[in-house]
Amino acid sequence: MTEPALKLAQVEKTFGKVRAVDQISLDVGQGEFFSLLGPSGSGKTTLLRIIAGLETPGDGRVHVGGRDVTRLPPYARGIGMVFQDFLLFPHKIVAENITFPLKMQKLPASQKKEQLDWVLRLVRMEGFENRYPHQLSGGQKQRVALARGLVARPDILLLDEPLANLDLELRKEMEVEMRRFQAGLDIPFIYVTHNQEEALTLSSRMAVMHEGKFEQVGAKLDLYNRPTTRFVASFLGSPNHILGRIKRVEDEIAILDWKGLDLRIPVPSNAKNGDKIDYFLKHEKVLVQPLREADPPREKNRFECTLRDIIFKGQHSDYFVVLKNGEELVGSAAVDPQSLKIRQAVEVSWLPQAGDAFLAENN
Amino acid sequence: MKTFRHWHQNKNFHFALLTLPGALFLLIFLILPLISILVFSFWRTESYELIADWNIENYKTILGEKTYLTFIWRSLVMAVSVSLVCLIYAYPVAYLVAKRGGRYRLILVLLTAAPFFTGIILRVTAIQQILGPIGLLNMALQTFGLEPIQILMYSNVASAIGLVYLWIPFMMLAIYLSLLNFNFKLLEVAYVNGAKPWRAFLEVTWPLNWIGTAIGIVLVFIPTFAAFVTPRFLGGVNGALYGNILEHQFGATGTWALGSAMGVVLFVICLIFILIIWRTINLQRSGYTGEEF
């Protein structure tokens, strides 16, 4: 078993009374693309800064490349980092910006040149060596910042919301590029973001962070499809939120009273009759179709409703329906040419297991 | 379209009009005296009278006689050392205020200007009260049976201390204003990329704030080079600087023409100094982006 590239053991950081990072342990292996996803204030940036050495943890150990760096200053850690607003040195040309880490290591000029050429090719910025940062576009600045992080072939590369300041189109393009850069390297990327789409697109594994703690760590598809906590279920995929009470439990299935409608849901752990339940249902799991006469299979949830609005998003559309109990659900699907019309009576249906049920917080 | 252009030209014209009072003031009180000094410097004085007898004898005297060159050299050494001391003292303070001053920043900066609330003579006299033979410092030493510190009494060192005290607020302010626009996060970038703190300072902080620092140096250098009040009060008999003998020409000796030439030499030396400093400034190397703010 090889050493993990990054190992955190019970890392903790408190600011005043706020526990920004609370008992975090984590292993990240060679060549992994690991995302730290969380809303702002969840502690993800603080955790990244602890790894970089820009903050000292109150407790716990940080190992990088098998070396305990907990007490080392940032300049002795051999880490690469890409910052949110690029933070290129405005008074240095592109080549000087990129070779800055090599200059600090006092590498001979020939080797500096070699590594500069390699990294310029990697980020496709050949020919820009002599420009000043203010002569570059946002995307180009991003590439230079990335090149500076990679040029010294660090043990790990930390990325702090690197795409947050780019416009949507450029972000999509850079997401693809990032994956390409990373795929060819052994260097693991630790990527902090509040944008779940970015995290889901880029990473192999990810952690969802909330109030200083890891809610769930694992492969991204596991997190998306099998959330283990209420927070992850409510966060990933921005699902429909259904709040109801358990009427009764039948084996694997519980009957949920949702403001007068009976819903079939998987039984949440530790749930009993009368408990308040949060049931999260992702948009793409809700099937919206014209009303049908035929009886559906009994195990499916199926409700008549009215189509309130359709929002066209290109590859798919969001269908807003109003149920008999006055509540609203959103379903999303590719646009059907014989599509539905607004104010038309429709039906929605889904399997109980399509959603995730948890005990509500204030039961 | 025509009306728009008309309005536009009009607007520029109005702005030009607004600069008129200032321009007039500068012309009358700065440019004209300078020209007259330049003219007088090529005349000669006889029995306290200026005679329009064009010659370059004054310059020959200043640049040929060892006495005058010595005084120029003394003032130059004084100006360079006082600028350096101000720089070394002011930088950390300005840095601390800009970085950690928080909401008290403005008050802290204004405090450094507090000595300006009183006149220069008063402030120099105050220093005399501390450094002089019967000053606070030496009195205290004598109370403990110690010898007074000779070098602090009526010497060039005493003058230097006074000059540093007088001009340090300018240096502070110039560096502080520069650091105000400095992105301290760039230092974190340097640290993560392997730079020790002193290296990060040399690679990032210093070059990115060089313009402000250079302005501070010029603002201290010039008044120090021309100083005459401070050395007269603190320098003692042997502490006269170039400014003192320059002033002397307009006073007791009444050699206005020679004094004017000395003034021109002073002006030229300051100009050369500014030019040297200006040559060290490369806008792009200072992080200047060409963007309008």
Least confident of A30-39, A352-361, B4-13, B197-206: B4-13
Q: What is the CA radius of gyration of chain B?
A: 24
A72 touches chain B (CB under 8 A): no
Supply the pLDDT for residue A101: 96
Q: How far apart are CA A7 and CA A254, in angstroms?
A: 41
Contacts of B208 in chain A (CB under 8 A): 90-91
Chain A residue with minimal CA distance to B194? Answer: A75
Q: How far apart are CA A305 and CA A347, in angstroms?
A: 6
**Three-state SS for B142?**
helix
Supply the pLDDT for residue B292: 47
Least confident of A23-32, A63-72, A247-256, B2-11: B2-11
Contacts of B201 in chain A (CB under 8 A): none
Q: What pLDDT digit, counting tens, does each position of A244-283 carry? A: 999 888 888 899 999 888 899 998 888 888 889 999 999 9
Supply the pLDDT for residue A128: 95
pLDDT, mean of residues B138-159: 84
Q: What pLDDT digit, counting tens, does each position of A141-160 carry? A: 999 999 999 999 999 999 99
Of B193, B207, B291, the CB nearest to A91: B207
Q: What pLDDT digit, counting tens, does each position of A190-203 carry? A: 999 999 989 998 99
**Three-state SS for A243?**
strand
Contacts of A77 in chain B (CB under 8 A): 192
Of B193, B207, B284, the CB nearest to A100: B193
The beta-strand segments (E) located in A113-250 are 156-160, 189-193, 205-210, 213-219, 240-250
pLDDT band at B289 (very low <50, low <70, confident <90, very high): low
Least confident of A124-138, A216-230, A262-276: A262-276
Contacts of B285 in chain A (CB under 8 A): 91
Supply the pLDDT for residue A268: 86
pLDDT band at A292 (very low <50, low <70, confident <90, very high): confident
Supply the pLDDT for residue A296: 65
Contacts of A104 in chain B (CB under 8 A): 193-195, 199
Q: Residue B227 contacts by C-beta under 8 Å, 6 or more apart in sequence?
A: B75, B78, B159, B163, B241, B243
CB contact under 8 A, A74 and B186: no
Please indicate whether residue A184 or residue A310 has the higher confidence score (pLDDT): A310
Chain B contact probe: residue of A72, A87, A137, A141 with most B CBs at under 10 A: A87
Supply B232's token pair: 């007269």
pLDDT band at A112 (very low <50, low <70, confident <90, very high): very high
CB contact under 8 A, A132 and B193: no
What is B56-279's CATH topology?
Answer: MetI-like fold (1.10.3720)
Supply the pLDDT for residue B2: 53
Spell out the domain ranges in chain B.
1-40, 56-279
Q: How far apart are CA A331 and CA A288, in angstroms?
A: 6
User: Residue for token digits 């140096």?
Assistant: B217
- Quick check: B222 and B269 in contact, CB under 8 A? no
**Summary mean pLDDT of chain A:** 90
Supply the pLDDT for residue B128: 84
CB contact under 8 A, B194 and A54: no
pLDDT band at B286 (very low <50, low <70, confident <90, very high): confident
Q: What pLDDT digit, counting tens, does each position of A299-342 carry? A: 789 998 999 998 888 888 899 999 988 899 999 888 775 678 88
Supply the pLDDT for residue A230: 92
Of A85, A90, A105, the CB nearest to B194: A105
Supply the pLDDT for residue B206: 96
Q: Which residues of B make CB contacts under 8 Å with A?
A: 183, 185-186, 188-196, 199, 203-204, 207-208, 284-287, 289-291
**Three-state SS for B49?**
strand
pLDDT, mean of residues B24-41: 92
Q: How far apart are CA B195 and CA A100, in angstroms?
A: 9
pLDDT, mean of residues B97-107: 89
Task: Count the neighbouring beta carbons within 10 Å of the beta carbon of residue B57.
Answer: 15
Q: Residue A270 contacts by C-beta under 8 Å, 6 or more apart in sequence?
A: A359
pLDDT band at B293 (very low <50, low <70, confident <90, very high): very low
Report ipTM for this prediction.
0.87
Please indicate whether residue B125 or residue A28 has the higher confidence score (pLDDT): A28
Chain A residue with minimal CA distance to B291? Answer: A134
Of A54, A89, A134, the CB nearest to B204: A89
Q: What pLDDT digit, counting tens, does each position of B237-254 carry? A: 888 999 999 999 998 888
Supply the pLDDT for residue A173: 86
pLDDT, mean of residues A214-238: 93
Q: What pLDDT digit, counting tens, does each position of B65-97 carry? A: 999 999 999 999 999 999 999 999 999 999 999
CB contact under 8 A, B185 and A100: no
CB contact under 8 A, B189 and A83: yes
Supply A48's token pair: 């990244």
CB contact under 8 A, A89 and B183: no
- Quick check: B95 and B179 in contact, CB under 8 A? yes
